[in-house]
Amino acid sequence: MAYKILIANRGEIALRILRTCKELGIKTVIVHSTVDRQSLPVRLADERICIGGPQPTQSYLNIPAIITAAEISGAHAIHPGYGFLSENPSFAEQLEHTGFTFIGPSSHHIKIMGDKVEAIKFVKQYGIPCVPGSDGPILNEQQAVNVAESIGYPLIIKAAGGGGGRGMRVVHDNKQLLEGFSLTKAEAKAAFNNPCVYFEKYLTHPRHIEFQILGDGQGQAVHFGARDCSIQRRHQKIIEEAQPIDIPNEKLMEMGEKCASLCRAMNYRGAGTFEFLYQDEEFYFIEMNTRIQVEHPVTEMITGIDLIKQQISIAFGSKIQLAQKDISFHGHAIECRINAEDPETYLPSPGIVSFYHPPGGPGVRMDTHVYSTYSVPPYYDSMIGKLIVHGANRLEAFNKLSVALDEIVIEGIKTNLPLHRLLAADPDLRAGKHSIHFLQQRSDKISS
């Protein structure tokens, strides 16, 4: 019997999943909103079902409509991509009850890791190092002051249910703490329907280092090395690379193995990422994402392994066919997130792409749903594609990145390509002198 997968997402990740399904001979059905009718994955899927209006709540977050579409189309499994319903435990639970296969972890694991306070408590039991912090939620102002005294300033107030770089506030003294405490709680309640907040020491010069893992829910789990995602704006990643430089390989492999062994212990099923901050040669866990990440291609480029294929095979009940020793790392890969936004104000820039010309050549990969005449809708995340390059080493990868960025043409809308061109040529970034504050410090330097 031929399998059929329903893709419950849009844009480049929907296209990415679609391509692997086609390669595997799996039939595809895609659900889409009224404004995505002309999008590339919708045009290329075997079947398409319009499930609602442009607002995400009307379509890509509309659980009953998605399950109905799966039922009508006879899909066996649902791939949620990233964002939208990918880390919604209630969606995964409803699929568990209705008999559709969720291409992701169990609802139980999504729930644990979706609450950052619970996640930290959970991983600590397995000896994973965490950022010094409040050891649980902060319940009132008195506790806030006491905990702040013991951690010391600056500290970061974080929403337990936060994500996507939102729900965080850095404070430097008691006054900011008390204001920030109630503000972050109120924002967290409004944005994530969970007012719970906790505190962490605000690390002053860390890099964001994360480990890709895969578990089969049958006792086996492996890691695929690490990624450095330190180049961020407002806590949102814009450039990622693999593997991180200037961290001894043994140290990376040791932490990767710790994450994989935790996944074996919890019998984790699916792809996942353990995110850490790395400062002064120490790792500090911050959270786990229980889905495929935007930046998964850099890992694919250095390992030669299709992670979406792995996700699908595990979801359909296969054991992981790879032993840890089968996963080796070749060369260096860098990814740039291309956003439809003004490169100076960072304001979104939706509209019609009047002309698109992709870059090419050896080691150049462009994951995008954009084509000439495509209209970027204003309702969704501004990311319209990812340029990924692979070189024999980091220098070659940066050189390839500069060449590819010079070649790519996207006209009709504004994009952050000018920023990427500057970053690809930046001597400090090329020299590996970066932390999560790189972009901020660079803009401060330019404006002063």
Catalytic positions are 291
C-alpha torsion 133→138→140→145, nearest 10? 10
| 76 vs 208 by CB, closer to ligand ADP | 208
For residues 157 and 181, the answer to whether their CB atoms sit within 8 Å is yes
Site membership for ligand ADP, residue 163 (CB under 6 A): yes
Place of tokens 């702040």: 148
Contact between 4 and ligand ADP per CB under 6 A: no
Minimum Å distance from CB 436 to ligand ADP? Answer: 4
- Contact between 352 and 374 under an 8 Å Cβ cutoff? The reply is yes
209 in Cβ contact with 276 (< 8 Å): yes
171 binds ligand ADP (CB under 6 A): no
- Residue 37 amino acid letter: R
Who's near 146: CB < 8 A, 6+ residues apart? none
Complex with ligand ADP: residue 73 or 88, whichever CB lies closer: 88
The answer to whether residue 295 forms part of the interface with ligand ADP (CB under 6 A) is no
Residue 380 CB contacts under 8 Å (≥ 6 apart), including other chains = 10, 11, 56
| Position among 287, 295, 300, 341 found at the interface with ligand ADP (CB under 6 A) | 287
Which of 76, 208, 337, 365 is in the footprint of ligand ADP by CB under 6 A?
A: 208
Stretch that binds ligand ADP, among 14-22, 79-87, 203-211, 348-356 (CB under 6 A): 203-211
Rounded Cα–Cα distance for residues 133 and 354 (Å): 50
Interface stretch with ligand ADP, choices 163-171, 335-343, 375-383, 405-413 (CB under 6 A): 163-171
Q: How far is the CB of 321 from ligand ADP (least distance, A)?
A: 31
Q: Do 161 and 137 meet the contact criterion of CB atoms below 8 Å apart?
A: no
Contact segment (CB under 6 A) with ligand ADP among 197-205, 256-264, 293-301, 405-413 equals 197-205
Q: Binding ligand ADP by CB under 6 A: which of 121, 235, 251, 309?
A: 235
- Token pair 């970061």 is found at 156
Query: Applying CB under 6 A, does 320 fall inside the site for ligand ADP?
Result: no
Is 381 a residue that touches ligand ADP (CB under 6 A)?
A: no
The answer to whether the peptide bond before residue 418 is cis (omega within 30 degrees of 0) is: no
Nearest to 38 by CA among 50, 22, 25: 50
The verdict on 109 binding ligand ADP (CB under 6 A) reads no
Determine the length of the chain. 448
The residues of the shown chain that bind ligand ADP, judged by CB under 6 A, are: 131, 156, 162-166, 168, 200-203, 206, 208, 232, 235, 275, 277, 286-287, 436
